[in-house]
Amino acid sequence: MSIRSPIEEPQVTHSQKATVEDADEAVDEEQEEDEEVVDEKLPWTHSPSRTGQFIPPPSLVEAGASLNDLKFLIQPRRTSGIGHKDPQLDLLLQSRLEKMQMFLWNYTKPIGACRWQAASLMNANAYEKSTWLAGRLRQWTRAYILDRNDLPLNIYGTWNSSILEDAGYSKRVYHEFPMSSKEADLERNVLAALEAVPLDAIRRFSTRSLRFMDY
């Protein structure tokens, strides 16, 4: 009588496990994003991650080269080679680039370097932020490694639509709050119109505002 040998499960390395978890977390974070933010044509590339898909982390060589380029981008040298000049970056973009710089340093430093996902979590914790920032750091940095012109730009003020373009809401405002020359009527109508703003629109606006501040 033959005895069947137990089926051995495939061995998964720590780096593979961390990267799969990286992909899973990225999907969860994207699902939490506001619908309008997801649909927005963002100026930086989202990493193409799917649940359970193995996406290897950038090599230390790639990450090190990107770190050096980031340093010169944040603190460009003068033509004379002495001192630095203004990088001409807005405050939000510069803040994000500095976070990416610290992330890459923790990932590539000669002594005490962390794995890809662990380094991003360490950075988020250092800034007293949640795993949302850790996921964004990985996305921003992957995009920058692939294309030095792909930066996490500040898209504040680039929307070209407003709540008044919602046909249903505009119609309601027009019919329920007619124009009036009396100041009291105008004040009452404005307050009533604000109260009539759909809750989902308020939620979207609040979510986008928090995203701009990297919360």
Residue 158 lies in a domain: no
Same domain, yes or no: 94 and 198 = no
pLDDT tens-digit map of 34-56: 333 333 333 333 444 455 677 88
pTM, entire model:
0.52
* Whether residue 30 sits in one domain with residue 106: yes
Q: How far apart are CA 124 and CA 113, in angstroms?
A: 16
Q: Are residues 130 and 40 in the same domain?
A: yes
Q: pLDDT at position 183, please?
A: 61
Average pLDDT over every residue of 127-146: 92
> Beta-carbon neighbour count of residue 142 at 10 Å?
24
Q: Which pLDDT does position 65 carry in this prediction?
A: 95
User: Do residues 35 and 113 share a domain?
Assistant: yes
Name the domain count of the chain.
Answer: 2
**Three-class DSSP category at 139:** helix
Residue 36 inside a domain? The answer is yes
